[in-house]
Amino acid sequence: MKNINKNTGNESNSSSPLGVRGKYNFDEIIDRNNTGAIKIERCKTLFGTEDVLPLWVADMDFRTPDFILEAIRQRLEHPILGYTMSPKNFYPLTVKWISEHHNWDIKRDWVGFLPGIVPGLAFAVQSLTEVGDEIIVQSPVYYPFFHVIENNHRVLVNNQLKEVEGKFVMDLADLEQKFTSKTKLFILCNPHNPGGRVWTKEELQQFASVCEKHNVTIISDEIHADMVLPGCTSHTPFATVSAWAEQHTVTFMAPTKVFNMPGLISSAYIIPNTELRQKFAKFLEASEMNAGNIFAYIGAVAAYENGEEWRIQMLDYVQGNIEYITDFLKKNVPQVKPMIPEASFLVWLDCEELGMETDELHKFFSLQAGLGLNKGTVFGPGGEYHLRLNVACSRRILEKAMKQLHSAVNSN
């Protein structure tokens, strides 16, 4: 099964029903073996076998855009990779992108460089809370949220999401009961991972009203903001929903997810509140973590300058992949029910009707269906009987994955 990852050259242009979209070919199959790719290197440990289609890590199997690779190549033509300042257009382009794509007119001095959003979460926990303070999350949710709280000796409090008519909604009545005098932060996933919800402005306003009563600071992870799928509600930055939210929110954004360059580790924080911003920035400075490497800047600039056409075509292709698996599962494996995402390339699969406990389910998918997916329970309470599937790959990979699943279910 690993051989499906081999690059078959021109053959990849013809066998998919989608073909080449515009000027970019998302049907291409690229061999990621021997590149240190986490999604391949950790298969044996996580799934008990290397013979799986690795559809778990949240990066794409699409070629990183040519304009990003070319910008890096051009810089490599110079023979010295020395200490480097951020390009003069890095921050203006970041501000411009956020204004144009998210209708949020931020000021330049609100923005700073961040060496990755997960490190940013840890920095926020360390700089804005004390050991023993309580931090609220909404499970099932991106599992590093749990790690940065517990590894820094803070107290994890869970406000579990509810599923209503096939999508997650916030349980604000439960949230009201979770605040105490020790609650200092709330880590929000906006848009949501793994459910793909794009929280509406009205939902976020209601959420903000509850948080305002308890004067808690919000850390808003918005790495999927640029990945809202065609026809879905536009992304609303949490900091824009009210005057209170603007002054009590630390927002993290990045071009790395949408432009498939997470290895460059290039992100940004946006903090309108001066006191909050200075506290966070001083912590980064004291930790010597307030600057990026040369290619982190170059990749971000290239993405923001040239990326819109690629982004639109990529999301269109991903939407087609989501529709394909949704239709296939409905017709052939109705026991597996996908939560239709409104953003990103991640699909939350409800597999309860297969009649297996989560660990057994995970083994069944990996050892019998040959599919390496994220186990739902790593996303916390509410993840039982679920798996997370990454569909940012060639349609032919998904076709193979669905056929393997269908065969395994029929043989079970």
Same domain, 258 and 294: yes
What does the DSSP 8-state code read for residue 85?
P
Q: Which burial class, exposed, middle or buried, applies to 147 when counting CB atoms under 10 A from its CB (0-12, 13-18, 19+)?
A: middle
Task: Tell me: pLDDT of 56 over 60.
Answer: yes
CATH value at residue 327: 3.90.1150.10
Lowest average pLDDT, out of 7-16, 108-117, 264-273, goes to 7-16
Domain end among 245, 275, 306 = 306
**Which amino acid, 265?**
I
**Sign of the CA dihedral 170, 172, 173, 175?**
positive
Q: pLDDT digit string (tens) for 18-51?
A: 444 578 999 999 999 999 999 999 999 999 999 9
161 — alpha (psi -120 to 50), left (phi > 0) or beta?
beta
Tell whether omega for the bond before 87 is within 30 degrees of 0, i.e. cis: no
Number of domains in the chain: 2
Alpha-carbon distance 207 to 209, whole Å? 5
Same domain, 269 and 337: no
Q: pLDDT digit string (tens) for 190-211?
A: 999 999 999 999 999 999 999 9
The distance from CA 74 to its chain's CA centroid, rounded to whole angstroms, is: 29
Alpha-carbon distance 359 to 273, whole Å? 45
Same domain, 301 and 330: no
Same domain, 226 and 339: no
Q: pLDDT digit string (tens) for 234-262?
A: 999 999 999 999 999 999 999 999 999 99
In a domain, 69, yes or no: no
Domain span at 127? 81-306
**Which amino acid, 396?**
R
Tokens of 343: 């953003």
- Residue count of the chain: 412
